[in-house]
Amino acid sequence: MCATGGAPHIGLGFHGFRCDAAYQLPTEFWRQLSGRVRQVPILADEGRIDRLDHPGPAILVPRKHAINGPGQALLIMNKNPWTRGRSYADDLSRLSQTTLPLRDVSPDWPMAELPTPFEFWLGPGMARVLVVDDA
């Protein structure tokens, strides 16, 4: 856990990411997400994590790969703790680099269908957690 003022935050803990307020999300998000680890094994996997480019400076998009198999998790996070952030992708399959279907396992209001193009306004500190359907 990284020291910050105000609400408790946990650093992302991904190799190659700095541990400061710009790369942290509220502790509550990680508690909710960790409750899904048993249901979604890719979230507990120790596979490679790539940081993807996003035009929004407040949007952080890490893509996690399974150690074995095609499993992937795509996290789309608003790292700004005060304002909403717009997430947009022409095609999520380009971000995930797979044609396998994605499903939303987000802690807050999972989407039953993921539209193309994908647009979502993330609340402060909010994230979408998308996984390859077989992950």
Report pLDDT for 80: 86
pLDDT tens profile 50-106: 888 888 888 999 888 888 878 888 989 898 888 999 999 998 888 888 888 899 988
The whole-model pTM stands at: 0.72
CATH number of the domain enclosing 103: 2.60.40.1180
- Judge whether 33 lies within some domain: no
Which residues are within 8 A (CB) of 132 and not within 5 positions of it... i.e. 6 or more apart? 42, 70, 71, 72, 73, 96, 98, 100, 101, 102
Kindly report the number of other CB atoms within 10 A of residue 89's CB atom.
Answer: 21
Report pLDDT for 34: 59
- Judge whether 22 lies within some domain: no
Are the beta carbons of 62 and 51 closer than 8 angstroms?
yes
Q: Residue 85: give the domain boundaries.
A: 40-132
- Judge whether 14 lies within some domain: no
Are the beta carbons of 78 and 58 closer than 8 angstroms?
yes
Higher per-residue pLDDT: 30 or 71: 71
- Judge whether 3 lies within some domain: no
Are the beta carbons of 24 and 14 closer than 8 angstroms?
no
Tokens of 108: 């807050």
Question: Is the confidence at residue 45, as pLDDT, over 60?
Answer: yes
Q: How far apart are CA 27 and CA 1, in angstroms?
A: 9
Q: How far apart are CA 23 and CA 15, in angstroms?
A: 12
Q: What is the number of domains present in the chain?
A: 1
- Judge whether 76 lies within some domain: yes
